[in-house]
Amino acid sequence: MNINCKILRDLLTPEELLRGDYGVEREGLRVTPEGKLATTLHPEPFGNKLINPFITTDFSESQIEVVTPTVDTIDKAYTALTWLCDAVQDVLPENEFFWPQSMPCDIPEDDAIPIAIYEGRPDAGSAMAYRQGLIEKYGGKKQLISGIHLNFSFKDEDIETVRRAIAPEYSHQAFKDAVYLKIVRNYLRYRWLIIYLTGCSVGLHKSYIPDCVAQMSPVDDAGSYLETTGPSFRNSACGYKNLFPLYPDYTSVASFAEDVQGYVDKGYLSAAKELYTQIRMKPRDAVNVLESLREDGIKYLEIRTIDLNVYDPCGIAKIDMEFVHRFILYMLIKPEEDYPQWQQEGLLNEEAVAVGGLQPGFKIKRSGELVDMRTWALEILEDMAEMEQNLGLSDGILNTMRTRVVHPETTYAARQMADIEAHGFLGSQMKKAREYKAGSLERENILREYGDADEQVQKKHQEDMTTGKAFPKL
């Protein structure tokens, strides 16, 4: 299957290329004013965390996860994320804050890290047992690492338009699977660029895993440590990963499902969902993952590379969301290289860039050969610029990314290094946490959007979103 710019330009308008189904998941810890993990229960106004689709918990009772509804533009996804983050800030008590950083705050030992408490549904016990297994296998501290997950799918009607024109012999779902599989394979090859451009986790508190803290440089006497050469400690070997690398076959959905089932059967994984990858192919049935992938195919993609952006109240900047969408399009049209060890090389580059990508002259592997990372990054961005021009999408987003490559001091990571050096790890992150809480309480986004309604209606919209009953119209 070969999809190129000419095919897309002839079949789809620029507006159709930019539409899709978008969603964002943002994880974050609840912390005390001192930057310690808040071990209180999940706030009661959010209701049952197994039922609320918008505000729930991840691994820990102290780890909030907000999930936007599926919307058709990035603007709407960012607005929905803003509303949800504001709702969290509004509900948190005065002495708790929403930690803005991917790497954990001042955290206790494993036995004092509270696993998320679930009740009120038949699957509550299994959800808690699964988390207990994770803490025993990987340790509790890595479970507290937080990030951004971007969910994306093309509109089915646009996929169908392309299928009819270039691959009528495929069924709709078979063609859709082939499209997403190619994106996944290429994304795994080039994910190192997303890590460099969006990385924002260069600090640690001394309470994290000792062997990982030892890899960083001490900053002060308050337990602050700093990674001085790379943008994303979260994506390093000290981030949350499987105990050893697993490389499933991404040739087809069937081959992928067979390999992952094999990992489960051999005891490498307790369940299919334990396979931690930088990009996931998501099925319709989130419970019976492999069976659903085999029978129903891929529903959407989940991109898991992105650190929480400390410099955005929502944890991700809209320009980065827009860039990732362009990157997905590029992964679709870019021919695949036939280097046989591409998965191993992708992981090697991921971890290398995460801890070394800010160094001058840094080199990574390209089909087995060492190349200059920045030269390759600029080559990719030039290819993307040509793609955008051919598709009528040029809007300046790539200029910002090019600046981050040419001038590493403009990256989020470099900015964060300076802040941690000036104010310490906990001090710099709590400064942003306080700023964002104050800003959220001032904005009252939901009430503003429904300014024409009476006060009771406004409060009803806010309550419905907070408790998960309904999301206000975007």
- Domains delineated in the chain: 5-467 (3.30.590.20)
**Cα 66 to Cα 82: distance, rounded to the nearest angstrom:** 10
- Residue partners of 62: CB distance under 8 A and separation at least 6: 29, 30, 37, 38, 39, 40, 113, 114, 144
Closest Cα to residue 130, out of 118, 147, 112, 142? 118
Q: How far apart are CA 132 and CA 316, in angstroms?
A: 30
Q: How many CB atoms lie within 10 A of CB 438?
A: 11
Model pLDDT, residue 394: 79
CA separation for the pair 83, 112 (Å, rounded): 32
Helix/strand/coil for 369: strand
Contact of 172 with 384, CB cutoff 8 Å? no
Report the candidate in 468, 469, 462, 473 with the shortest Cα–Cα distance to residue 87: 462
Looking at residue 449, its pLDDT comes to 59
Geometric angle at alpha carbon 361, from 358 and 362, rounded to 5°:
55
**HSE-CB of 198 using CA atoms within 13 angstroms:** 32
pLDDT at 453: 65
The whole-number pLDDT of residue 149 equals 99
Q: Which amino acid is at 406?
A: V
For the record, the structure tokens of 134 come out as 């994770």
Provide CB contacts within 8 A for 102, sequence distance 6+: 145, 146, 147, 200, 201, 234, 307, 308
Residue for token pair 């949800």: 84
Whole-number pLDDT of residue 455: 75
Q: Are 272 and 260 spatial neighbours (Cβ–Cβ below 8 Å)?
A: yes
Q: pLDDT at position 193, please?
A: 99
- Beta strands 363-366 and 369-372, pairing class: antiparallel
d(CA 450, CA 457): 8
CA 136 from centroid of its chain's CA atoms: 24
Q: What is the pLDDT of residue 441?
A: 79
Q: For residue 69, what is the DSSP state?
A: P
pLDDT at residue number 131: 93
- Distances, alpha carbon 212 to alpha carbons 205, 260, 268, 441, 446, in Å: 10, 29, 24, 36, 41
Give the phi and the psi of residue 152 in degrees, each rounded to 5. -150, 145
Whether residue 25 contacts residue 147, with contact meaning beta carbons closer than 8 Å, is answered with no
Are 184 and 250 within 8 A, CB to CB? yes
The answer to whether residues 450 and 472 touch, using CB atoms and an 8 Å cutoff, is: yes
What is the per-residue pLDDT for 451? Answer: 57
Q: Where are the alpha helices (DSSP H) in 274-396?
A: 289-296, 318-333, 342-356, 373-391
Phi, psi of 248 (to 5 degrees): -65, 160
Q: What is the pLDDT of residue 123?
A: 82
Encode the chain (474 residues) as per-residue pLDDT tens digits.
789 999 999 999 999 999 999 999 999 999 999 999 999 999 999 999 989 999 999 999 999 999 999 999 999 999 999 999 999 999 999 999 999 999 999 999 999 999 999 987 788 888 899 999 999 999 999 999 999 999 999 999 999 999 999 999 999 999 999 999 999 999 999 999 999 999 999 999 999 999 999 999 999 999 999 999 999 999 999 999 999 999 999 999 999 999 999 999 999 999 999 999 999 999 999 999 999 999 999 999 999 999 999 999 999 999 999 999 999 999 999 999 999 999 999 999 999 999 999 999 999 999 999 999 999 999 999 999 999 999 999 778 999 999 999 999 999 999 999 999 999 999 999 999 999 999 987 776 555 655 556 778 878 888 999 999 999 888
Burial of 85-115, coded b for 16+ CB within 10 Å and e otherwise, reads bbbbbbebeeebbbbbbbbbbbbeeeeebbb
Residue 46 and residue 98 in contact, taking contact as beta carbons nearer than 8 Å: no
CA distance 219 to 152: 39
